[in-house]
Amino acid sequence: MSSIGSIREKSEIDSRNDDAALEEGRMEKEKEKKIIEKSNERLKELVPNDELYEAMENFLLGDPVAQVPQLGEPEEIIARSKEKATQGINLIARAEFETAAKVAIYEQKEDVARSSLELASLVTNPDDKHARMQNTLLDDLDEVMQIASDYYVTRERVTSEATTAPDSSDKN
């Protein structure tokens, strides 16, 4: 009998742990959803037109604190991308040049962002939507850098608020 009791107890404990993990996961998803919604609202406020909004939406990093260490420095990414371009692997080269531009925009390295976008344009089909986004960003890179700076400050603030907000389960 004691082994059955301990099996039941273990099952109940496992069930409570699973429920707690599910609730925690749900709360994390809610926080992330709130961060995304508020960040997107702020981006819409910052960007003057739909064309630039589309480009900025595609060239801003979702979680730069986590992504940048994984992606590497823009200069390193550009070096790898140049090798791909030399080998004629243009699609991968374009994606990597654009990644370098994204990191450079986040890091506020305007010259590096410009050179990354210019290099990307050399390996991008002019009829591709990426060519249009690259040109849109290059046309007013000063404004792009300012928008990105404002956007990332807002995102950091929203993320901080979401992670330090009182837990709804703490309410009496």
Beta carbons of 150 and 140 less than 8 angstroms apart: no
As a whole number of angstroms, the distance between CA 38 and CA 40 comes to 5
With 0.85 as the threshold, say if the pTM is over it: no
pLDDT tens for 20-72 read 778 777 777 776 677 667 777 888 888 989 999 999 999 999 889 999 999 99
* The pLDDT value given to residue 169: 44
SS3 127: coil
Q: What pLDDT score does 10 carry?
A: 64
pLDDT, greater one: 123 or 172: 123
What is the C-alpha separation between 163 and 159, in angstroms, rounded? 6
Q: Model confidence over 99-136: pLDDT tens digits?
A: 999 999 999 999 999 999 999 999 999 999 999 999 99
